[in-house]
Structure 1
Amino acid sequence: MLRDVAVLALQGAHAFELGVFCEVFGIDRGDDALPVYDFALVSGTGDSVPMRHGFEVRTRHGLERLASADLICIPAYDLHVRQPDHLTEELRAAVERGARVLSICTGAFLLGEAGLLDGRRCTTHWRYTDELARRHPRARVESDVLYIDEDPVITGAGTAAGVDTCLHLIRKEHGSAVANAIARRMVAPPHRDGGQRQYRERPLPRHGTGSLAPVLAWIEANLDQDLTVEAMARHARLSPRTFARRFRQETGTTPLQWLTGQRVLLARHHLETTDEPITAVAHRTGFGSIDTLRHHFARRLGTTPQAYRRTFGAPPTSG
């Protein structure tokens, strides 16, 4: 069970990513009957650590505090700033004794230096995936995901994906209801695109004017309809071939693969938050039949809609 959380205050750390860890794990939400963690900011360079943004963070704990942690969190940091050599040794020792490590963005590079990415799937901000793969060729770097859970090593993509990564771990440890409640307190979505493997079916469009973002929004609003590539292309005012090419450029996948991912995501939402019959969920999400819904759930999540609801659905209310 996750109880003890240590967050590394690295030299040159990015404030947002550091703040994500503090927000998710460092706030006492006991008044809402939510988990309260034994939380600590940890430094390997003394009690005052210079951040990237021109201010310093003071910590009460040195690296010895890592010895008791169930989870060690590594925020993004400037890659040109050298971290203490013995820090990688501490991370390896922590994983060997059974602790988890969780990185956001460039924090994955520190895990790579510790040898903890070797042979594992991992991710980082899309701007740095090529560099991570170059520096650590034994790592299996993926660029089209929000996060990857290769327990005990969990890596998240850039910035806001850190929230997704932390909420994923809370959902895994404490269940859907707890993760959803913490997300509501943070005014954040409890989860975004993808299944339990959290493949990022809809990356944020990398283009401004002329992007397919309006078409993606239209598709999301009409998932229960019979959507073909031709219909999507007509809405985008493009030929099917041009639409398919542009779609892959912006999302990294095909229109039908992305559509299926969004339908699975919507089905998950209904299964988690309603007691609608599975047949109704299949129709609401555009799958049409229970068999089709089961097929895509099995392929993407490795489970059935019924089993998913039993695991993640809200408990029945009494009275």
Structure 2
Amino acid sequence: MPAPAAPNSASTLPAGHSAPPAATSPLGRHVREGLSRPFKTLSSMYFYDDEGSRLFQQIMALPEYYPTRTEFGLLSRHQEAIGQALRPSSPDEPFFLLELGAGDGLKTKILLRHLLATGARFTYVPVDISSAALEGLAASLRTELPTLRVEPVVADYAEALRLMASRPGRKAVLFLGSNIGNFLPDDRHRFLQSLARPLTPDDRLLVGFDLQKDPRLIRAAYDDSQGVTARFNLNLLHRLNQELGADFDLGQWQHYTDYDPLSGAVRSFLVSSQAQTVHFTALDWQAEFAAWEMIHTENSYKFTRPGISAAAQASGLAVEEFFTDEQDYFADVILRPAR
């Protein structure tokens, strides 16, 4: 990585000058803190404005992007066994199917249809911080699965799990996709602990893990030939222009991705192709970038079976069942509390 800008490269407000409202918003605070670091960083959680969400839908349909279609096929192939692992041993016992970050529910509907067809007595509880996303999902479920009991919860994951812990009966918690790979190792450990803590011995987790494989195939999934992933990454700067009055010239920035097979980490960056100053009108602030300096925007870790077992054990969980596709590209893993 090129040498970072000097520590004083980001300006500060003059003494006695009050911060504009955007400076105290979550996005404003995050941008100022992240772009003041010696190695600049922005969180991938801010990728998903309306345009970012639209671009990600395109990414999922790309020939290089295998995770979505692979997990869809995996769930279709193993739906009976996964459904059996999630529901209580007594066929008449009701339970809650709690999904963290349900999105459009495309893959989850495979399990929902199977459980309904086999007479399972359950309530589907999709969780998201976006009420609009949940309203859209609930509307589609009313049309496609009118007999399904749905209780959407607008909350962060930890709050939702605390709320559900007080409800009697079995809880099956879903965290599908490869979202677990976006956490740094220490953050992943804390997140899995936070999932495990409120669970009873009878509860279960189903977590998706993208597995290590041909490194060329992995890298291509995050740097596609059509440039959609590049537009998705660069859209983060466009969002900052729109919401914080920044003046990023997107023509002076490039998308770059690398994959390290030793750590299993895909890392995505935005690269400044020349020395430049970016102003943030809404923050009354500016940041300096050296030529070829990078902003780290995303991690996506890939896993091995021993690594999954070790991460589970360290977090108070144990692997109960391991489901994968024909090529061993992806795994959906049933975890239970180890205590």
User: Which has a greater percent of strand?
Assistant: 2
Q: Same fold (TM over 0.5)?
A: no
TM-score by length of 1: 0.26
TM-score normalized by structure 2? 0.25
Structure showing the higher helix proportion among its residues: 1
Higher relative contact order (CA 8 A, sep 6+): 2
